[in-house]
Amino acid sequence: MYLGIDCGTQGTKALILDIHSGKVLGEGSAAHRLISGANGRREQDPADWLLAFEQATAQALQQAGVAGSEILGIGVSGQQHGLVLLDAKGEVLRPAKLWCDTESTAENAHLLDFLGGDSGSLERLGVAIAPGYTVSKLLWTRDHHPEVFGRIAHILLPHDYLNYWLTGRACAEYGDASGSGYFNVRTRTWDTELLELIDPEGALVRALPELIESDRCVGSIRPEIAERLGLNPWALVASGGGDNMMGAIGTGNIAPGAITMSLGTSGTVYAYADQPRVSPHPQVATFCSSSGGWLPLICTMNLTNASGAIRDLLGLDVETFGALVGEAPIGAGGVLMLPFLNGERVPALPLATASLHGLTSDNLTRANLCRAVVEGTTFGLRYGLDLLKDSGIRSDSIRLIGGGAKSATWRQIVADIMGAPVACPQHTEAAALGAAIQAAWCVSHQHGEALSLQSLCERCVSLDDARSAEPDELRSRAYEGVYQRYREQVRALQ
């Protein structure tokens, strides 16, 4: 039995995986609080993650009907780009700044200028740093909280921090490290010179965690944490990774040819590559995967957060919202939404705001507003998919995950807008599943068995035929006109 954890923006999810049968035996979840500010601040208290970890694990074990002593390994998936700062005693110095935090946009621009713009950043790091990446949060901390900056002993990403809490060891693996902005994805090494620009004294470089391979274990769980969680005190903790990297494993996206699309708080589209072919498009992040290769990826900042905002505004439950989306026609009667509530990364519009276009007294209906936000967010994913295809990525089908994938209407909209068949895994919580699969992979290496990741994915990842969608040629043609209208509005903003 293996425990998979996904610590995301909205909450932590846990599942228990039996790798012999390939079945998920139990699941649990617990919510997180978000600290928000009008200046783009998006932070969380890591203590909330620990409590949610404990609650979600207890639920998963209870539902599975298994004893925690049967858990052989733990894999942790975490939201990318976050910054957790610890002092010399291992205590958290301040709330963690998240991937969706844009408070350090000015600092990111300063660092990007130093690197020589997007092209210079691509040449040096293999990625173009963007607002939300970890590196700008370090510069922001130096300039706005110098007393905190002076006490930094460990710089960790969210999943690194959870592994540190579990084991007492500060480590990072290549996939999640790729989104830090101070990591070279081609050489798989830290860019220490960039950190020395922020801190010439070298304290940040000394605070970096040790880099380990994705198939390695961080170590054994600490006895006091095993007791708190009710787990096997000999359980091993896997390297883990970022939520997108774990989502790739959890959808079997570990070889060229597959594309995974996530309809979560943010939207992501990614594919596997066996070489670090850096895209000329700055919005395509050629991250490392957590399966030994690379993971060309695009990320939109607005997805279910935008649809949720419209749903809350209109006072709708999820079922009514979905029904209204289905009632409205393709193109929402002429209502087009640019859903950039948090600015946007893809398209690259970090300072943009959301807007509605084409409103008239005839088309201003609840159904059209609901349809417009779903279409607008999905157009952002299509924009990103076009960038991936232009970068040489090829795939005939899409594996769809995330909360939005539970909607049959949204699945069909994705298939029609992308012009590709859509399939959903049996378990849409792909990041937690991927973490559990990776844990089994890492533990087998630790014990000298070296199970292949491919065999584990074949056994544990299956598609749900009842939740597939085929594109309709007529609808796809109709969407193309609406999508081009979206592109025109984006160009006007750019």
Catalytic machinery residues: 243
81 annotated ligand-binding residue: yes
Spatial CB neighbours of 296, under 8 Å, sequence gap ≥ 6: 270, 271, 273, 277, 279, 284, 285, 286, 287, 388, 391, 393
Strands 73-78 and 236-238: parallel
The continuous run of DSSP H or E covering 2 comes out as strand 2-7
Q: How far is CA 3 from CA 167, 214, 333, 416, 462, in A?
A: 15, 17, 47, 36, 19
Q: Count Cα atoms within 13 angstroms, Cβ side, for 344.
A: 27
Return the bridge partners of 261, or none: 269, 400
Spatial CB neighbours of 398, under 8 Å, sequence gap ≥ 6: 259, 260, 261, 414, 415, 418, 420, 421, 422, 423
32 annotated ligand-binding residue: no
Say if residues 493 and 349 touch (Cβ distance below 8 Å): yes
Q: Residue 478, exposed/middle/buried by CB under 10 A (0-12, 13-18, 19+)?
A: middle
Largest CA distance in the chain: 69
Which one, of 419, 404, 425, lies nearest residue 468 by Cα?
Answer: 425
Annotated binding residues, written as ranges, equal: 80-81
Known binding-site positions for substrate: 80-81
